[in-house]
Amino acid sequence: MLGMIIVSALLIGATLGVLGAGGAILTMPALLFFTAMDEKTAVAHSLVIVGLIALAGWVLNSVRNPGNFSWRLFGIFALTSLPGAAMGAIAGTRLPGGVQLTLLVTIMFISAYKMLGKKQNVADRHSSLPVLLPAGFGTGAMTGLVGVGGGFLMVPALHLLAGLPLKSATVTSLGLIVLNTAVAILALSVSQEQIEWDLPVLIIMAAGGVAGTLGAVLISHKISPARLKKGFAMCLIVIASVLIGTRLLAA
């Protein structure tokens, strides 16, 4: 099991480092498959792990390409994603674990569908607040509710709706994930009873994820984002299907 946890962490970090999205959605399944955690404990651990991995990717990307981060769109998205993350975390404490897992599986299928979809051309456009603000809230709410980063929505929103170049959208997405997970963890610590933290799992997954992120960013010029997205999408479909069979239908 330890080996699978390490492999999962490396994959999560690598995907987040290259795409700025997607990898975090594997954290919850990895915790459910390879540890004895229940859904709510896994959500709390996932938020910490995802936040630390995204922080490493954000810092490294910002150092290597300091001009890619968009503070303006970061601020616009954060206006609604932060309260969304807090509200999602609080709502998650009141939902049955099965409902959270169902939402996670649904998000995994949607994410896979978006990754396998046709590439869209980005026109030169200005950010649309009526579109970006609700997208920010929804992304933040999902982060707090089921412990995912939400980058699979952030990157398309920043790239396709606001016209931000893909590399800039990736780095900006990582910064937003850091902020959203931090707010969600704070909301959980205030609204939920004492969380039983598994420090070895946190350390192993966070360290493995950071290593995966650093390695992926350093060799990102040799990695095909298109192939990575397709392979990762198929991985999501398989894992979501296994979750349905082993957790939801078996309940």
Q: pLDDT tens digits, residue range 142-159?
A: 888 887 767 767 777 777
The helix/strand/coil state of 13 is: helix
Please state the rounded mean pLDDT for residues 39-45. Answer: 87
Number of C-beta neighbours around residue 71 at 10 A: 9
Q: Return the residue matching tokens 């409902």.
A: 99
**Distance (Å, rounded) from C-alpha 42 to C-alpha 86?**
17
pLDDT in tens, 151-196: 767 777 777 777 788 778 888 888 998 999 999 899 888 876 678 8
- Only one residue has tokens 């420090």, namely 199
**Of 9-18, 36-45, 74-83, the least confident:** 9-18
Residue 22: predicted pLDDT: 59
Looking at residue 67, the DSSP 8-state letter turns out to be T
Helix then strand then coil, in percent of the chain rounded to 5, is: 80, 0, 20
From 135-139, 198-202, 203-207, 221-225, the region with the lowest mean pLDDT: 221-225
Q: Which residue has the tokens 């933040």?
A: 140
Beta strands in the chain (DSSP E): none
Long-range (24+ apart) CB contacts under 8 A made by 128-135 are 128/161, 128/162, 129/76, 131/157, 131/161, 132/73, 132/76, 132/77, 132/157, 132/161, 132/162, 133/76, 133/79, 133/80, 134/80, 135/77, 135/161
pTM for the full model? 0.81
Residue-level pLDDT at 118: 61
1 or 47, which is more confident: 47
Check whether 243 has a pLDDT greater than 60: yes
3-state SS assignment for residue 219 = coil
What ranges do the domains of the chain cover?
39-248
Tell me the DSSP string of 89-126. HHHHHHS-HHHHHHHHHHHHHHHHHHHHSPPPP-----
Q: What DSSP state is assigned to residue 24?
A: G
